[in-house]
A = this chain, B = another copy of it.
Amino acid sequence: MRLALNADLGESYGHYTLGDDAGLCPLIGAANVACGMHAGDPNTMAAAVELTRRHGVSLGAHPGFNDLWGFGRRPLAMSPAEIEYLVAYQIGALQAVAALKGVRVTHVKPHGALNGMAHDDAGIAMAIGRAIRAVDRDLIYVANLGSQMSRAGAELGLKVANECYADRVYDRSGKIMPRSAPDAVLDDPERVVAQVLAFLELGGIGRFGDWTIEGRIDTICIHGDGPNAVAIATRLVAELTHTGIELVPLARLDF
């Protein structure tokens, strides 16, 4: 079995630093790089691209809402056409910065509230998909397992990587609990590893003996902005490798 671990990189901004990109990048197979709307700027994008180049990690755009103050975590009412433009803008911006380093963008993963809205809303999920297809139809659409994004990607003929979260708790609908909910974010490495192994055994997300939403898991997200992100990632890599899972760059998976 082959999997790619993914994490958000390049979420700093100007004088502000967020996350330990240098520590995390060697451990992952796909970096989702913020593109200047909810976080990131041309300099942080270039630095993140350079890290992915050095470590052979697949480079992805991580488009979000234009809300730096809210870090893209607040829903914003936008029409599907506006979302198409917003997402295309961010993918293209990263492609061009990546070109300066001789790197190609190979996937796209929506960020924060945009991701949450696209999970349930077919119109938004399709708008993101159309933006991806127009910019480069070989780009992989990273989509929550069981979401409208998965469906939209398939309908548009795009490569879809089904994703689940290592460190976020799911509700029975298959959606991650909001960060504001109690215990919504797992920060104990044991629990993170246990959840991931359970998902892989279940063949989807869910809880043993309770509920399952089945689906092929292609990529597992670990968050890079927690205080022990590198420790969690290190532990997860070790456990998965020990279990016989091959961790690869996202773009090397078959779609």
Contact = CB atoms under 8 A, between A and B. Distances in A.
B90 A14 contact: no
B89 A14 contact: no
Contacts of A71: 14-15
Interface stretch (A95-103, A159-167, A238-246): A95-103
Q: Is the interface of A mostly helix, strand, loop or mixed?
A: helix
Interface string A53-75: 00000000000001111110111
Given A82-B43, A85-B45, A14 B92 contact: no
Q: How many interface residues does chain A have, given as a range? A: 35 or more
A41 B135 CA distance: 18
Interface in A161-206: none
Interface string A1-35: 00000000000111111100000000000000000
A41 B74 CA distance: 16
A65 to B, nearest CB: 10
Nearest to A130: B100
Given A14-B70, A69-B41, A89 B36 contact: yes
Interface in A197-219: none
Nearest to A131: B100
A13 B84 contact: no
B134 A100 contact: yes
Contacts of A89: 36, 42, 45, 93, 96-97
Contacts of A94: 92
B92 A42 contact: no
A88 interface: yes
Contact of A77 (B45, B75, B86): B75
A72 to B, nearest CB: 9
Given A43-B85, A85-B97, A96-B134, 5 more contacts: A16-B16, A42-B89, A92-B93, A92-B94, A100-B131
